[in-house]
Amino acid sequence: MITIIDYGLGNIHAFVNMYKRLHIPVSVASSADDLRGAKRLILPGVGAFDHAMERLNASGMRPVLDELVMLEKVPVLGICVGMQMLAKSSDEGSLPGLNWINGTVKAFSLAPGLKDLPLPHMGWNDVRPAPGIGLFKGMENDARFYFLHSFYFDCEESSSVAASAFYGQDFDCAVAHGNVMGVQFHPEKSHHYGSNLLKNFAEI
């Protein structure tokens, strides 16, 4: 069973529909009670970092999520801003993130030599998975996903980098540390690549 966290942000129905097409059981959690017994979690997100953290903190689900992810080690996949929320903090805001993976979110516009880079980074881009990452099983030499973002996750530990991409510079586009995973791109907009990744997450 995949449980999608609904705190008011993210394309919940797109993920529900994709898992239904894959014939994988899926549910939506919008309260702490809905999260009880969850076996796999998806944290979607769109928009600004602080707004997303405010919505999640106000949802009443944050304490249960911390317990499930940090203590019970339930697998979780953050997507887009949901991935950025896994970090300690973001250049985009002042609120602390979930701090489930060591790293910070940085702005492309503040990176040296990238001031004239068109933003947001939008469209399809090749993704280079690190060796042995289960999310990218079967896509080790052929991974291409749809992006829409102006900020990127910067891992403190190279061992947490699950995949990288290039936009003016190499950047971490997927992270994985134990049961905590995240992708900057949009699997729900990435056709069969996204479908394969979501299926792989269900099987981890």
Q: pLDDT for 102-136, tens place per residue? A: 999 999 998 887 778 899 999 999 999 999 999 99
For residue 5, the model assigns a pLDDT of 98
- The residue segments making up the domain with residue 56 are 2-203
User: What pLDDT, on the 0 to 100 scale, is given for residue 114?
Assistant: 76
Query: Which is catalytic among the residues 92, 173, 177, 188?
Result: 188
What's the pTM? 0.96
Instruction: List, for residues 67-82, the tens digit of each pLDDT value.
Output: 999 999 999 999 999 9
What pLDDT digit, counting tens, does each position of 44-60 carry? 999 999 999 999 999 99
CATH code for position 159: 3.40.50.880
Active-site choice (80, 121, 155, 173): 80
SS3 65: helix
Tell me if residue 173 is catalytic.
no
Is 80 annotated in the active site?
yes
Domain count, the chain: 1
Per-residue pLDDT, 111: 85
155 noted as active-site residue: no
Distances (CA, A) of 82 to 78, 115, 139, 195: 4, 25, 22, 18
pLDDT digits (tens, 9 = 90+) for 1-45: 999 999 999 889 999 999 999 999 999 999 999 998 999 999 999
Quote the radius of gyration of the chain (alpha carbons, Å).
16
